[in-house]
Amino acid sequence: NSVYFSAFPVLEKEIKEGKIPWDKESVIQLYDQICEQANSTFGDFMLEAFHCPSSRSGVIQAGREIVAQSGLYITKKRYAALVIDDEGKRTDVDGKSGKVKAMGLDLRRSDTPVYMQDYLKEVLLMVLEDYPKDEILERITEIRQEFKEMPSWEKGTPKKVNNLTTYQDAMKKNTKATVPGHVRASLNWNTLKKMNSDTFSQDIVDGMKVIVCKLKNNPMNYTSIAYPVDQLCLPEWFKELNFDDDTMEETIIDKKLRNLIGVLNYDLERTKRDTTFNSLFDW
């Protein structure tokens, strides 16, 4: 198990008075010493708590893992830290401020598009490097604008389709059968492909990776449609669909940003207003 803590609150008075240096090198040395001090207490603790002889208590040790310049702690097992030393190896080298260690965040989730993973990493690094809030919000506004300019079908969510055939058989027996949204979206692709006499595009089959796009009102009453990730050339009938860009923006940008930096209580709605305002003056 790991535990993360800062010695600053305990030593704040001495640090501000200049009695204790508080730079990267001294902080790394301090936490190394704290680790050694903690290890020196295990022998007596194991003897008192578990009657463990010294010949066996020596196997219980702590290891100083990382020293971070800053951290963002969201919930249990969901956090990020800007690491400057990783088990004795400095990471703030070659002009880098450090290495980002992220646990349980959307940066690595398979249902987060690669471009959005890059955006999230950029925003997270700005937060960890203590950029002014206004600059971070300005960058998010730019990200929204870049997203709006993308073709609608590139704004979907990556998914993997399993048990497609099983669900399809279940729907034949019961039209009200419960089917996961991305599976239904994949079946919608296969249906519309057939309706448009499209013999060139791929069918979606079991185990295939797809991109799921949201749809606005349409004659088929479809709320979403998927297409194969490996479909290099999308058919015109697909591109002409009535895509729901706003819902996809909510899913890909708003939800991901709230999960990442929602604990900071930034006014993310402002980035929407700024984007709308700027678009009024685009010619």
pLDDT tens for 153-192 read 999 999 999 999 999 999 888 878 899 999 999 999 999 9
Question: pTM surpassing 0.75?
Answer: yes
Gap between the terminal Cα atoms of the chain = 56
Q: Kindly give the interhelix angle for 268-279 and 133-148, rounded to the nearest 10 degrees.
A: 50
- The reported pLDDT for the residue numbered 107 is 87
- The reported pLDDT for the residue numbered 276 is 64
Residue 75 has pLDDT above 60, yes or no: yes
How does DSSP classify residue 204?
A: P
- Determine the 3-state secondary structure of 42 from DSSP: helix
- The reported pLDDT for the residue numbered 58 is 75
Q: Are 139 and 122 in contact (CB under 8 A)?
A: yes
3-state helix, strand, coil in the chain (%, to 5): 50, 15, 35
- Determine the 3-state secondary structure of 44 from DSSP: helix
Strands 78-86 and 157-160: unpaired
Tokens at residue 167, please? 């669900």
How far is it, in rounded angstroms, from Cα 260 to Cα 79? Answer: 9
- The reported pLDDT for the residue numbered 277 is 54
| Tens of pLDDT, residues 81-119 | 999 999 999 999 999 999 999 999 988 888 999 999 999
Q: What percent of the chain has pLDDT over 90?
A: 78
